[in-house]
Amino acid sequence: MITKLSQVIDLVKSKPKKRLVAAFANDDHTIEAVNNAVNLGIVDAILVGDESAIQKVCKQLSIEIEKFKIIHEPDEMKAATLSCDLINQKEADILMKGALSTDKYMRAILNKERGLCPPNAVITHIAVVENPAYHKLLIVSDCAIIPTPDLKQKLLILQHIIKTAHAIGIEKPKVAIITPTEQMSAGMTACVDAAILSKMADRGQITGAIIDGPISLDVAVDEEAAKIKKMIGGVAGDADGLLFPNIESGNVFYKCSTKFNKAEIGAFLAGAKVPCVLSSRGDSSLTKLYSIAIAATL
């Protein structure tokens, strides 16, 4: 069973190599991560950006630039759009954000003519978290894109969590629909949605996972809390996935994990034509490597 992000890299090595295009790949963390992924045999890579800046970074890091295909485009928005074109032309299988801002990256993905968003698709942020305080990986969503998902969006997010779990070798993931309380509160939309999703799973309308909710975060991830509160059902205390009710709760969990617990994270956007690696411009090259590896499993 995979319990660490480093094991995802080993898993990806057994799969066919993917082709990655990095949009506006002018920064050292992006280039270093892509270089490591190429060296590990995970991907072949195209770097779209300012060629002189890319050459300078490669020289500073002693990276052989010949291992990449370089496409010169010094404008960050044009670089993002061109990278999406390469995906649509079947020249690459994974999109990655380089040194451009997230809003411009999303604008390129969501562009109606040249973007990567199928009709009626829901784009969501999926993060795989290796938290030293937890005994295995946690797949969590949505921490960055959808402010207040409705029931339909939560269903799609849930399906992406399950798909990601399957891709990294978790055959029957346990997914908790997170709410402020494990008690059923009819006046709380998060609890109502959680109860509906859980009942859909009970009736076979959602497959491939064990689903429980409403369930509070402590009960979902702490066996002792689950015992004290007399929660049963297969998910309590041992969740593989967490579906958050809104972006505030998901984002705070994400940042508390990284800042207080020094968690390692790999993250991408699901729902587009291909997995789109989305990490902060300030994230380490290791975080970006893990994100590439997770995207390459899908």
Instruction: Please give the angle made by the CA atoms of 194, 197 and 202, to the nearest 5 degrees.
Output: 125
| pLDDT value of position 114 | 96
Number of domains into which the chain is organized:
2
pLDDT tens, residue by residue, 148-167: 999 999 999 999 999 999 99
User: Is the domain of 62 the same as that of 169?
Assistant: no
Q: Is residue 233 part of a domain?
A: yes
Gap between the Cα atoms of 213 and 202, Å rounded: 11
Distance CA 126, CA 266 (A): 8
The domain that holds 229 is classified in CATH as 3.40.718.10
**114 and 188 co-located in one domain:** no
Tokens at 218, concatenated: 């402590």
59 plus 160 within the same structural domain: no
CATH number for position 27: 3.40.50.10950
Residue 268 within a domain: no
Q: Are residues 166 and 283 in the same domain?
A: no
- What is the b/e burial string over 244-266, where b = at least 16 CB atoms within 10 angstroms of the residue's CB? bbebebbeebbeebbeeeebbbb
Residues 45 and 155 in one domain: no
Q: Are residues 131 and 66 in the same domain?
A: no
Do 200 and 278 lie in one domain? The reply is no
Q: Please give the residue range of the domain that contains residue 173.
A: 124-259
Same domain, 130 and 113: no
Contact (Cβ atoms closer than 8 angstroms) between residue 266 and residue 287: yes
Are 137 and 224 in a shared domain?
yes
Residue 59 lies in a domain: yes
Is the model's pTM score more than 0.75?
Answer: yes
Answer yes or no: is 265 within a domain.
no
Residues 90 and 176 in one domain: no
Query: Do 165 and 108 belong together in one domain?
Result: no
Q: Looking at the domain assignment, is residue 155 inside a domain?
A: yes
Considering the domain boundaries, does residue 266 fall inside one? no
Regions of the chain with pLDDT less than 50: none
Q: Are residues 162 and 94 in the same domain?
A: no
Q: Is residue 62 part of a domain?
A: yes
Q: Classify burial at 90, counting beta carbons within 10 Å of its beta carbon; exposed 0-12, middle 13-18, buried 19 or more.
A: exposed
pLDDT at position 149, please?
98
Residue 15 lies in a domain: yes
CB 114 within 8 A of CB 79: no
